[in-house]
């Protein structure tokens, strides 16, 4: 006899909306991480002096993040005003085209422009995908859907490292653009969210970003939703992307590759996102799991600065632990999206992760400024402590959203 509950579960979890959102995030992560992997190789190839590779690398990374910050607002508002599907098509086309163009650049100016445009395109993927999944799945399965999106998505970093180690850096960008264009064709069969369709032709204010500031309660919910994710991008943007420089300061034996550090970190993130998503369903709580992973992240950051004189193998293994500990990205985005009504949900889901990604800019500049006075290790520790304090404060009195009905609007 056929178990109809299992059939329904499989049909919902592996629906075209979930699969397309997961593959979109996969390509998103591939492109987002690729620059960190080919940073040194590509900058040397276009003539950047070795002494300037760190500074120019941070500049280009910040240009990408600035594009994502702007794109988060742009795509979020479009998603609430014109529909979730519009983002899925527009964003992937933009960053795929920017990736292909990136393969032809020969100057810092051209590189920075491509990273900025790619950042704008990348900003729409995750928010649109998560919003679509949350609005199309039954509430008891929402966590499983976003878990699948995040788990498949972060594996894009593993592919990026493999491609970058197999092909030239220019070809790696071409491949990323090609993957995006292929996914664009696959998205033709995706349908719009029913919740959004119900309000599409109404006079309800949709995509009004300023609604988040007209209510004290909405504003503080929004800010808390943002800042609980701050340690994730400190770990990736500072500890992992700049791992060659940290490893040198900690006298790690052997050469440390940023690409390998990213790969091990994102392998950890795969398991972390899976575990955090699964635990949120098992415990029927987003909030408990968020606290658990904040504590793990605190321990991971502390341990990172105690790795003096260890082997490169142990260092890479620890990068995997950092990835696992900061693997509450799926919970972070889900909490944010579940706290707001259908008429501004895409705006929130797109802006929250991209504001956090954009926070890499003040984080890296604070790190750079502090590094001049107290050295790279102490600067990293100080900035890490600051990020964790802010995240714990944001967690305080965070709303539990596991069983929340999402079919409502903000007024």
Q: Kindly report, residue by residue over 33-63, the tens digit of the pLDDT.
A: 888 788 888 999 998 888 888 888 888 988 9
97: exposed, middle or buried (C-beta count within 10 Å: 0-12, 13-18, 19+)? middle
* 96 part of a folded domain: yes
Q: Count CB atoms within 10 A of the CB of residue 314.
A: 12
With a pLDDT cut of 90, the percent of the chain lying above it is: 38
**Mean per-residue pLDDT for 294-322?**
95
The pLDDT score that the predictor gives to residue 7 is: 44
pLDDT at 10: 58
> What is the band of 176 on the pLDDT scale with cuts at 50, 70, 90?
very high
Please count the CA atoms within 13 angstroms of the CA of 324 that sit on its side-chain side: 13
Give the Cα separation of 99 and 115 in Å (integer): 8
Q: Has residue 136 been placed in a domain?
A: yes
Q: How far apart are CA 286 and CA 234, in angstroms?
A: 22
Residue 81 domain flag = yes
Beta-carbon contacts of residue 304 (< 8 Å; ≥ 6 apart): 239, 246, 318, 322, 380
Mean pLDDT across the chain, nearest whole number?
87
Residue at 349 is within a domain = yes
Residue 187 has pLDDT above 50, yes or no: yes
2 located within any domain: no
User: Is 409 domain-assigned?
Assistant: no
What DSSP element (H or E) covers 56?
A: helix 53-82
Question: pLDDT for 393-409, tens place per residue?
Answer: 999 878 888 888 888 88
Angle made by CA atoms 362, 75, 84, in degrees to the nearest 5: 140
Which pLDDT score, from 0 to 100, does residue 306 have?
A: 93
Domain that includes residue 41, residue range: 12-189+212-395
Say whether pLDDT at 100 is over 80: yes
CATH of the domain at 335: 1.20.1250.20
- Closest C-alpha among 362, 345, 334, 62 to residue 230: 362
Checking if the pLDDT of 4 tops 50, the result is no
**For residue 406, is it within any domain?**
no
| Poorest-pLDDT segment among 11-15, 177-181, 222-226, 231-235 | 11-15
pLDDT in the model for residue 1: 43
Predicted TM-score of the model (pTM): 0.81
How many distinct structural domains can be found in the chain?
A: 1
Two tokens at 17?
């909306």
Q: What is the pLDDT of residue 82?
A: 85
Spatial distance between the Cα atoms of 301 and 292, rounded to a whole number of angstroms: 15
């Amino acid at each position: 006899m056929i178990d109809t509950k299992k059939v329904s579960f499989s049909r919902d979890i592996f629906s075209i909306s979930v699969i397309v959102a997961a593959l979109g995030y996969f390509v998103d992560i591939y492109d987002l991480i690729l620059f960190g992997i080919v940073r040194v190789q590509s900058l040397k190839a276009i003539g950047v002096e070795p002494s300037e590779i760190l500074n120019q690398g941070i500049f280009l990374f910040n240009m990408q993040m600035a594009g994502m910050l702007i794109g988060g607002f742009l795509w979020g508002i479009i998603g609430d005003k014109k529909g979730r599907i519009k983002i899925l098509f527009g964003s992937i086309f933009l960053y795929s085209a920017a990736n292909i163009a990136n393969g032809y650049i020969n100057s810092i100016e051209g590189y920075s422009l491509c990273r900025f445009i790619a950042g704008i395109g990348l900003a729409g993927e995750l928010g649109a995908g998560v919003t679509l999944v949350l609005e199309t799945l039954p509430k008891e399965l929402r966590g499983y859907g976003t878990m699948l999106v995040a788990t498949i998505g972060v594996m894009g970093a593993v592919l990026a490292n493999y491609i970058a180690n197999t092909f030239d850096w220019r070809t790696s960008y071409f491949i990323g653009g090609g993957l995006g264009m292929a996914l664009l064709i696959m998205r033709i069969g995706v349908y719009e969210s029913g919740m959004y369709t119900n309000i599409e032709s109404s006079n309800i204010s949709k995509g009004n970003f300023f609604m988040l500031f007209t209510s004290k309660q909405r504003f503080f919910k929004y800010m808390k939703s943002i800042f609980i994710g701050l340690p994730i991008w400190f770990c990736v943007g500072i500890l992992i992307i700049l791992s060659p420089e940290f490893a040198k300061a900690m006298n790690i034996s052997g050469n440390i590759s940023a690409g390998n550090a990213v790969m091990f970190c994102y392998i950890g993130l795969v398991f972390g996102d899976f575990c955090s998503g699964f635990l949120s369903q098992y415990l029927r709580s987003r909030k408990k799991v968020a606290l658990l992973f904040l504590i793990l992240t605190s321990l991971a950051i502390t341990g990172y600065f105690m790795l003096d004189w260890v082997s490169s193998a142990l260092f890479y293994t620890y990068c995997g632990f950092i990835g696992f500990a900061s693997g509450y990205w799926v919970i972070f985005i889900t909490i944010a999206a579940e706290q707001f009504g259908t008429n501004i949900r895409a705006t929130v889901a797109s802006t929250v992760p991209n504001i956090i990604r954009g926070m890499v800019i003040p984080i890296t500049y604070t790190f750079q400024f502090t590094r001049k006075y107290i050295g790279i290790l102490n600067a990293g520790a100080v900035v890490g402590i600051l990020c964790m304090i802010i995240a714990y404060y944001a967690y305080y009195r965070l709303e539990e959203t596991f069983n929340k009905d999402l079919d409502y609007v903000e007024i």
